[in-house]
Amino acid sequence: MARYCFGIDVGGTTIKCGLFRTDGEVLDKWEIRTRTEEDGRYILPDVAETILAKITEKNLDKTDVVGVGIGVPGPVNEAGEVPEAVNLHWGYVNVVKELGDLTGLTVKAGNDANVAALGELWQGGGTGYQDMIMVTLGTGVGGGIILGGKIVAGAHGAGGEIGHAHVDDTMEEACNCGNHGCLEQFASATGIANLAKKLLESSGTPSVMRGHKNISAKTVFDAVKEGDALAIQVAEQFGEYLGKALAVFSVVVDPQVIVIGGGVSNAGPILLDYVVGPFRRNTFPPCRDTEFALAKLGNDAGIYGAAKMVL
Amino acid sequence: MARYCFGIDVGGTTIKCGLFRTDGEVLDKWEIRTRTEEDGRYILPDVAETILAKITEKNLDKTDVVGVGIGVPGPVNEAGEVPEAVNLHWGYVNVVKELGDLTGLTVKAGNDANVAALGELWQGGGTGYQDMIMVTLGTGVGGGIILGGKIVAGAHGAGGEIGHAHVDDTMEEACNCGNHGCLEQFASATGIANLAKKLLESSGTPSVMRGHKNISAKTVFDAVKEGDALAIQVAEQFGEYLGKALAVFSVVVDPQVIVIGGGVSNAGPILLDYVVGPFRRNTFPPCRDTEFALAKLGNDAGIYGAAKMVL
């Protein structure tokens, strides 16, 4: 009986790898470099090589391995095909077929944010639930929708692309997607820093943030913890945008739990204080008791979720 | 082999019933009155009686019947329990158990709007698709989310309650749900009439709508078809609210198709003209080619979807 599986999380600079027991325990974690040169043609062969080397190193047999799950930074359809992944310099790649051929193992592929959400459901902030919205607050805002324990990939691979929910009609700057007023422009690390800069410029109120040359989301939430009035205003603005948006998402899929992760979530439970209030005030009354949790797996969520895909 | 099933759609005044062949053909349709007196205690016995009478009338055997699907106007959990359905004067009712005991048949229950969405997916505007958002523009705004051919019921039975998406921060009047600024307040028949009344009051522009004592959504779209400038403005406001909201819902579940039904959709294809533009301008670029369709089954969507639940 197969007792092992691999979880692979392909990023623009490193590929995170994990060897798991099928009961969920991680036995080994390691990283290799992402070689994006020559249209990223070495990425999947490098993944195959490191997997096969690990099988040899651990004295496993291929029949001991259930399969390989892999998350990639781009849209992935049901068949495991990626039309394009700009960060990997990929055009069309059939990940499932190519990595399957290279390894002789069963492969499943998913979008990295969706896969990370599945990881958090399995062994992180969403443990014990089946229906979850995960929002990842990093440089951008990513997300993943899990219903009945399964990723909602979407007809265009855009399921859970909640960072691009339109939330503001007045935003003049364009989002990376080309639209104006996306949630990502207000609730990402970059978005929070921009809210802070705008407020510092328009207000004369003293603030510990004024001493910083490069204001980041961390600057803001550190200042919030010191009781800085302007930083608290920024956190409130951020919380209004994110809490209201989550309230809208909740009347669509009505999850059991909303999990917040990404670099910004390192601010800790204080982050939830600013999001949960606006959520509860704006969501459909029966959804008001929806649970909130912080993500727990950090950068490992991707390898956990990838492994879970093949179990 | 069982060759028949029943689809039942319980409304506040009438109960619509359908006898279907398992290949999807409807063989008979009829209605009975909804007896809401005495906390609606007669409703399920009446449903059972009419089903059993139909089985006798058609010379069927119970073993010929796959089961009974039933849609009710309230939240329904996975087990087929309804905590409360105000329009039926119900408190807690275990629909699946009670109707199963009364008929001796397999029963599945769902929320009426979700069930109607499933009907439209099966034999209406969403035929050929598996992933759909349905929005029903009636007195209120209802909806249903279908993913992989299955209803998204939600943790609180609030999946697809898209009429209560918060879309406006300035609305002073309260929605029926108690919140302010729900989509229903702008995109329902009532909401469209209110948009028209406000615009007629605030504007001096001549309009054919000024002659009407009771302005309805039909008044507005009839006037739009005559080229009435003020009515067109109302339709544009409605389309902005609904199109933008659908753009947000689409980055959550990324459906293949969005189906618009309910009384307002009797306006015909011109309705889509006002909704699709704002949708495409505000959704995540990969979702721009999401299909739109009008519902086709009208008031029969509920019995079709109810029947489909047991197939």
pLDDT of residue A87: 87
Give A177's DSSP letter. Answer: T
**Average pLDDT over every residue of B113-138:** 97
Distance between A39 CA and the closest CA of chain B, angstroms:
22
pLDDT of residue A256: 98
pLDDT of residue B98: 98
pLDDT of residue A211: 84
pLDDT of residue B213: 87
Q: What are the residues whose beta carbons fall under 8 Å from the beta carbon of A54, sequence distance 6 or more?
A: A6, A17, A19, A28, A30, A60
Chain B residues with CB inside 8 Å of A154's CB? Answer: 131, 253-255
Strands B14-21 and B4-10: antiparallel
Q: Which two tokens stand for residue A199?
A: 């407020």
At what angle are helices B270-282 and B217-225 packed, to 10 degrees?
Answer: 90
Distance between B192 CA and the closest CA of chain A, angstroms:
21
Distance between B47 CA and the closest CA of chain A, angstroms:
28
Q: How far apart are CA A258 and CA A238, in angstroms?
A: 17
Interface test with A, best of B177, B180, B254, B291 (most A CBs within 10 A): B254
pLDDT of residue A1: 65
Q: Which residues 107-166 in chain A show a CB within 8 A of chain B? A: 131, 133, 145, 147, 152-166
Cβ separation A254–B158 shorter than 8 A: yes
Name the residue with tokens 């325990």.
Answer: A25
Chain A residues with CB inside 8 Å of B244's CB? Answer: 166
Chain A residues with CB inside 8 Å of B163's CB? Answer: 251
Cβ separation B178–A286 shorter than 8 A: no
Cβ separation B286–A256 shorter than 8 A: no
Cβ separation A154–B282 shorter than 8 A: no
Torsion of CA B106, B109, B115, B121, to 10 degrees: -40
Chain A residues with CB inside 8 Å of B160's CB? Answer: 251-252
pLDDT of residue A18: 98
pLDDT of residue A86: 86
pLDDT of residue B97: 97
Distance between A103 CA and the closest CA of chain B, angstroms:
30
User: Quick one: pLDDT band at residue B1, thresholds 50, 70, 90?
Assistant: low
Sign of CA dihedral B81, B85, B91, B96: negative
Question: Does the structure show a pLDDT above 70 at B223?
Answer: yes
Q: How far apart are CA A307 and CA A103, in angstroms?
A: 16
Cβ separation A286–B157 shorter than 8 A: yes
| CB contact burial A202-232 (16+ within 10 A = b; e otherwise) | eeeeebebeebeebbbbbbbbbbeeebebbb
Q: What is the pLDDT of residues B234-260, one digit of tens each?
A: 999 999 999 999 999 999 999 999 999
pLDDT of residue A304: 98
Q: Determine the 3-state secondary structure of A115 from DSSP.
A: helix
Model ipTM? 0.94
Q: Do A22 and A66 touch, CB atoms closer than 8 A?
A: yes
Pick A131's closest partner by Cβ from B131, B155, B290: B155
| Average confidence score pLDDT of chain B | 96
Q: Which two tokens stand for residue B56?
A: 């006798």
Torsion of CA B128, B131, B135, B136, to 10 degrees: 50
Interface test with A, best of B77, B132, B166, B289 (most A CBs within 10 A): B166
Pick A158's closest partner by Cβ from B145, B163, B287: B287
Residue B75 main-chain phi, psi, to 5 deg = -70, 140
pLDDT block averages, 10 residues each, chain A of length 311: 92 96 97 96 98 97 96 89 90 96 97 96 98 95 96 94 96 94 96 96 94 93 97 98 98 98 95 98 96 97 97 93
Q: What secondary structure does DSSP assign to B57-72, as a single string?
A: HTT--GGGEEEEEEEE
Chain B residues with CB inside 8 Å of A248's CB? Answer: 165-167, 245, 248-249
Single pTM value for the model: 0.94
Q: How far apart are CA A107 and CA B101, in angstroms?
A: 46
Q: What is the pLDDT of residues B253-305, one digit of tens each?
A: 999 999 999 999 999 999 999 999 999 999 999 999 999 999 999 999 999 99
Q: How far apart are CA B53 and CA B282, in angstroms?
A: 52
Q: How far apart are CA B201 and CA B210, in angstroms?
A: 10
Q: How far apart are CA A122 and CA A130, in angstroms?
A: 9
Chain-centroid distance, C-alpha B174 = 22
Chain A residues with CB inside 8 Å of B176's CB? Answer: none
Half-sphere exposure of B304 toward its Cβ, with a 13 Å CA cutoff? 23
User: B240 and chain A: CB distance < 8 Å anywhere?
Assistant: no
